[in-house]
Structure 1
Amino acid sequence: MAQDQSRIPKTLYTRKGAGQPVEVLQFSYMSEEADAIAAEIGRRAASGCAWHDIAVIYRQNRLSRAIEEALIQARVPYEIG
C-alpha cells in the first residue's frame, strides 16, 4: 500500500515477456566495481553489442570518477550525459 494517500493508483505492466533475471554482484571496493563494469562493457562490445547501446546508471555520484578511470584504462569509449 502506498504511503501517499493522494497518489493516483496505477498498475505497472509490460507488453514484453520476462527478460533475463537481474544479476546482483557485491564488491568491497569502488575500484573493483568500476573494473568489473569496464570489463563487462568490453565483453559485450566484443560479442557484437554497439557501444551506443550500453549505459551505466549509478546510484551514488562518488562512483562516477572510479568508473570513468576504469573506462579510460580499459580503452572503452564513453560519454557522460
Structure 2
Amino acid sequence: MSDKAKGKAKEALGALTGDESQKEEGRAQQRKAEAEKETAQRERTRRAKDEAREAERERDRQKGKDEGLLGGITDSLSGRDRGPGS
C-alpha cells in the first residue's frame, strides 16, 4: 500500500472515530507522499533534459565530423561539394 493510500485510510479512520489528530496525521502523510512524487518527477525531468542536451551535443559533434574541416562547403556555381576528397 502506498503512503498516500495509507494517509487516506488514516484520515478516513480518524473521520469515522472523530479523532482529529489521526485525520490530520493522515492528511500530512498524503501531503508528504505527494511532495515525494513531485520531487521524483522533477528529477526524472531533469535527467531527461540532461540526456537530450547530451544527445544534441553528440549529434553536433557527429555532424562536424561528417562535414569535415571545411564544414560541408559547396561550390556555389556548380553545387558540387568542395570538401575533402572532392
Higher relative contact order (CA 8 A, sep 6+): 1
Normalising by structure 2, we get a TM-score of 0.27
Report the TM-score, using the length of structure 1 for normalisation: 0.28
